[in-house]
Amino acid sequence: MIETTDLLIIGAGPAGIAAALAAAPSGARITLIDDNPLAGGQIWRDGPQAKLPTLARQLRQDLQHHTNVRHYPATRVIAQSGARQLLLEDPQRGWRIHYDKLILCTGARELLLPFPGWTLPGVTGAGGLQALIKGGLPVSGQRLVIAGSGPLLLASAATARQAGADILRVAEQAPRSAVAGFAAQLPRWPHKALQAFGLFDRHYRTDTHVLAALGSDRLEGVRLSQRGQIVELACERLACGFGLIPNTQLGQALGCALDGHALAVDEWQTSSLVDHYAAGECTGFGGSELALVEGAIAGHAAVGDRDAARALWSRRKRWQGFADTLNHAFALDPRLKSLAQPDTLVCRCEDVTYAALSGHRDWREAKLASRCGMGACQGRVCGGATSHLFGWQQAAPRPPFSPARIDTLLCLDDTPPA
């Protein structure tokens, strides 16, 4: 079976929702897919302990009012099956969909940098811990250290604190001067200033980064460099996140060009491929406000309403200013490249150490020699780490892009030559 749609939107986070709502009044047939069970993406992730903001709930309701928007949750892209055609899979079936235009809103994932002990049970990503807590993970009474860089640390700490965790330290690697400079700029975006004030934690320390997770069978403590001094804290959980990496894999597989580590787009959010747009954090990290306006611009542009898209350019510029300020303030210190020791695992799926990778020239050579990136995560974790550590650029992924059932892959047998 081949389904057809005028506009396919991949990703139902803020950018994808905004794109669908902007395009819906045109009457176009719109299909919105996401691998999560509910719309909202990672930032508005739902769960037993999640408290969604009013805006997220309102946008979900608005989506339901448009009969020309079909939302397929728990759905993944498995492969490209022809020109403007993708193979999809949900828990019940696999099928192909043909689209006239496409908007990529594939978001971003955490950058996890390897350090001694980072694979111990009890160590997670900062955003990963937040998602686990929203999904029902009990942390009440547990001692918790959060380390890395960026505002996600404070957001994760707030979620954990509300769930009853004992926050021992929020370790921000950026220097005090950079964080103070960022805070001084926040009045330009009053909502963000108010948000930052509400998230402040008295255990927040700048110029502080993780050195090692301590323990044998599971996490027992953490060693930090805190403003030049070594500090050790006993704890049950350590959450580390060193910023975000744009999810560009699908865009690359389709042939979209990159701008640095993000998908390249023009003023209409158009990628290097005709009729293929991109919006949100796959084009660079800037927060939900930037993702919403970029998604709306892409949605208007995709259905030919360029006047409505152009009217949003000034708002996008405003939030791009915030993104630039944020990314400059929380740039990663070069010292973080030396956290891993020779025997520290970099690719945890295939047990590949830092020493096994350091002598190679690029990602392909390292992959051939060590199986780095060939495990379950398919390089989604170690790929970002090796890019930061060695400057390697990952190649475009090959299908299937995600694990798939045999009956889904058999749908490709009926695919005519492109």
More confidently predicted of 416 and 113:
113
More confidently predicted of 416 and 152:
152
Q: Is residue 92 pLDDT above 80, yes or no?
A: yes
The per-residue pLDDT for range 163-180, each reduced to its tens digit, is 999 999 999 999 999 999
Q: 235: pLDDT confidence band, cut at 50, 70 and 90? A: very high
Q: Tell me the C-alpha distance between 209 and 101, whole Å.
A: 44
Q: What is the CATH number of domain 125-242?
A: 3.50.50.60
| CB-CB contact of 242 with 148 (8 Å) | yes
Q: 416: pLDDT confidence band, cut at 50, 70 and 90? A: low
SS3 48: coil
Average pLDDT, the chain: 93
Q: Enumerate the β-bridge partners of residue 148.
A: 172, 241
Q: Is residue 414 pLDDT above 80, yes or no?
A: no
Amino acid letter, residue 318: R
Q: 195: pLDDT confidence band, cut at 50, 70 and 90? A: confident
Q: 317: pLDDT confidence band, cut at 50, 70 and 90? A: very high
pTM: 0.93
Q: 196: pLDDT confidence band, cut at 50, 70 and 90? A: confident
Q: Is residue 200 pLDDT above 90, yes or no?
A: no
CA atoms within 13 A on the CB side of 234: 0
- When pLDDT is averaged across residues 375-384 and rounded to a whole number, the result is 88
- DSSP tag of 289: H
Helix axes 126-134 and 152-162, enclosed angle (nearest 10) = 30
Task: Map out the domains of the chain as residue ranges.
Answer: 2-109+245-326, 125-242, 340-390
Q: 221: pLDDT confidence band, cut at 50, 70 and 90? A: very high
- When pLDDT is averaged across residues 385-395 and rounded to a whole number, the result is 90
Q: 46: pLDDT confidence band, cut at 50, 70 and 90? A: confident
Q: Is residue 409 pLDDT above 90, yes or no?
A: yes
Q: Is residue 201 pLDDT above 60, yes or no?
A: yes
DSSP string computed for 347-410: ETTTTEEHHHHTT-SSHHHHHHHH-TT-STTTTTTHHHHHHHHH---PPPPPSPSS---HHHHG
Q: Is residue 155 pLDDT above 80, yes or no?
A: yes
Q: Is residue 52 pLDDT above 70, yes or no?
A: yes
Task: Give CATH superfamily name and number for 2-109+245-326.
Answer: FAD/NAD(P)-binding domain (3.50.50.60)
The whole-number pLDDT of residue 161 equals 95
Q: Is residue 288 pLDDT above 80, yes or no?
A: yes
The per-residue pLDDT for range 252-276, each reduced to its tens digit, is 999 999 999 999 999 999 999 999 9
Q: Is residue 417 pLDDT above 70, yes or no?
A: no
Q: 415: pLDDT confidence band, cut at 50, 70 and 90? A: low
Residue 105 CA to chain centroid, in angstroms?
Answer: 11
Q: Is residue 413 pLDDT above 90, yes or no?
A: no
The whole-number pLDDT of residue 297 equals 98
User: Percentage of the chain with pLDDT > 70?
Assistant: 98
Q: Is residue 4 pLDDT above 60, yes or no?
A: yes
Q: Tell me the C-alpha distance between 172 and 299, whole Å.
A: 36
Q: 1: pLDDT confidence band, cut at 50, 70 and 90? A: confident
- DSSP tag of 160: H
State the first-to-last Cα distance of the chain, in angstroms, to the nearest integer: 17
The whole-number pLDDT of residue 386 equals 94
- When pLDDT is averaged across residues 326-353 and rounded to a whole number, the result is 94
